[in-house]
Amino acid sequence: MSRALILVDVQNDFCEGGSLAVAGGADVAAKISAYVEDHHEEYSAIVATADWHDDPGAHFSAHPDFVDTWPTHCRIGSDGALFHPAAEKAFEHVEAIFRKGHHSAAYSGFEGFTVEADHRASLADWLRDRAIEQVDVVGIATDHCVRATALDSAEEGFETTVLLDLTAGVARETTDRAVAELRAAQIELRGTPVVAPA
């Protein structure tokens, strides 16, 4: 079966020093690079997703609740929206980038699009066009965009695995809840997510 690897939102704003930093994000970015260097030949395709916000409405808040509203992050053209330099080696193998959230929250990579030959392609269509049947998901954050991307991957009919050792979660409670939800959706889980102590 053809397998793809999805790198979810390995961006500066989600790593230490960013506006919405996840503890362990930079370390996970480096581990993803090492993993891709060692395993890229096992994948038929490697792609990445990125938050790419212009005016996402209530997703941004001056007084965020960190559940539905968040500090400003990953604005188009900002340094925070760039991929973290620790993941640079991984991106040498990335074939397409799916940007999401121009005017919405857009947690799932399956809400993103890439531009190919002057037309927009969704992640699901792009994978199907390449006869991908299995998907591995890594990135930031376990309890938000990784969770949403993996759930949508399974919903789209791909056999889905989350490599938890290559993910970082915002908080223990929400990460544990996300892992339980992924398991209930019959998504294969390998490893343990990085998450800051409560």
Active site residues per annotation: 9, 100, 145
Calpha distance 57→49 (Å, rounded): 20
Calpha distance 79→87 (Å, rounded): 15
Phi and psi angles of residue 79, each rounded to the nearest 5 degrees, phi first: -60, -35
Calpha distance 172→196 (Å, rounded): 7
* Exposure on the CB side of residue 92, measured as CA atoms within 13 A: 14
Helix (H, G, I), strand (E, B), or coil: what is residue 42?
helix
- Between strands 194-195 and 188-190, the pairing is unpaired
Per the structure block, which two tokens stand in for 9? 């939102």
- At which residue do the structure tokens 């020093």 appear? 17
Peptide bond into 141 cis (omega under 30): yes
Q: Provide CB contacts within 8 A for 175, sequence distance 6+.
A: 142, 143, 169, 193, 195
